Amino acid sequence: MNHLDRYQSLLEGYLQGIYTGREVVGQAFDMLIDGTDREALWQALTPEHREEITQYLQNYDEAARPLLAHEHWQKVKDDTIALKRWFEER
């Protein structure tokens, strides 16, 4: 299943009450981080989901230390910064 199909499946699950809006946005964010078909996925997002991700990326403080001591925090931070750069360049 590609990211576009997965996103559509998540939306259907949301409409059926299986997922919360935050879960759908979180999964979409992870799929954007992955980078596969990023532009196509971005275009497929609902305006509300694009806005929520836009706000997060615009407010993301690259210098802030992580709130949780997660063992992979540096990779998460690097991936988020890379997505933010992509977003700013588009």
15 pLDDT higher than 80 = yes
Q: Quote the pLDDT of residue 90.
A: 85
How confident is residue 35, by pLDDT bands cut at 50, 70 and 90?
confident
- Residue 32: CB atoms within 10 A of its CB come to 24
Burial group, residue 36, by CB count within 10 angstroms (0-12, 13-18, 19+): exposed
pLDDT tens digits for 45-67? 999 999 999 999 999 998 887 66
Q: Enter the pTM of the model.
A: 0.86
Domain locations in the chain as residue ranges? 3-84
